[in-house]
Structure 1
Amino acid sequence: MNGQAGGTGSAVILFGHGARDPEWARPMQRIRAALQQDGGGLPVELAFLEFMTPTLPEAIARLAAEGVGRIAVVPVFLAQGGHLKRDLPALIGQAQALHPECRIVLAEAAGEADGVIAAIADYAKGCLRAM
């Protein structure tokens, strides 16, 4: 695995809010599968704020135990709301303190990335064409 080389490997954590219905996580599972298929062995974990497991601290701890040294936490949210402005930075700060051997970076909300906005706009246009 790419992440086992004494803290030199990299991994991605796709972070979502979570829901009581397990089907809610299906799009995140599809994103993980696409990353793993195209990522050349890149470890990709899912993590959730509530209702689902693993939690972000659990996912980070698992990757750190595997020797991963760089972790990108990618919030699979449309926008920066309260959870991303307050809760997530606090969770990452706590995890960083527990795992100083890891560099943990918080990405912007996926829905704020230019490519995601363009993809949603294209999807919306396609919905009209399909009518």
Structure 2
Amino acid sequence: MKTGIILLSHGSRLPEAQATLRLLKSMITQEGAFELVEGASLQFNQPDLPTALAAMAARGMERVVVVPLFLYRGMHVTRDIPDIVAKEQTRYPGMDIIVAGNIGADRKLAEIILERIREVS
């Protein structure tokens, strides 16, 4: 099954903020496990989620996993993203759109935080 990945960030008014998303996209792409990896933003930047899903459909993806790059299960994760996905799913009934869990609290994240603390200590 042709599977695409959308790394979904919040977005920022500062264009340089997208550099991190591009780096993450490159890292996931290098794994070579998926046919297509794209970055998208919920606000402020393009492509937004509907545009990224349209690109996935145009490239023939049968399954798309949307990965919310959000720490908290706030309004974007619990309401906004599911609402957008539900609306877009009606446009692409032949494409299965799945929303992965958000980043949340994870031991790996705690290790990164500790590493950053050590860097400045």
Note whether the superposition's TM-score is higher than 0.5: yes
Please show how residues 4-15 of structure 1 align to structure 2 within 5 Å.
Answer: 8-15=1-8
Contact kept, 8 Å, 1:48 with 1:56, in 2: the verdict is yes
Q: What are the within-5 Å matches in structure 2 for residues 98-117 of structure 1?
A: 98-112=91-105, 117=106
Q: Within 1, Cα distance between the matches of 2:46 and 2:30?
A: 23
For the Cα contact (< 8 Å) 2:71–2:102, is it kept in 1?
Answer: yes
Match of 2:65 in 1: 72
1:122 to 101, 111, 115: 111
Amino acid at match of 1:126: E
| TM-score normalised according to structure 2 size | 0.90
Q: What TM-score, normalized to structure 1?
A: 0.84
Deviations 1:3-42 (Å, cap 9, x if unpaired)? xxxxx31010001111100121222211110111112453
Show the 5 A alignment for 1:1-131.
Answer: 8-40=1-33, 42-112=35-105, 117-130=106-119, 131=121
Unmatched 5+ stretches in structure 2: none
Checking the alignment, whether the CA contact within 8 Å between 1:14 and 1:28 is kept in structure 2 is yes
Moved over 6 A (4+): none
Deviations 1:34-86 (A, max 9, x none): 11111245311111111100010110011101110000000001111101111
Measure, in 2, the Cα distance between the counterparts of 1:12 and 1:123: 24
Q: State the alpha-carbon separation in 1 of the partners of residues 118 and 66 from structure 2.
A: 35
**Matched-pair identity in %:** 33
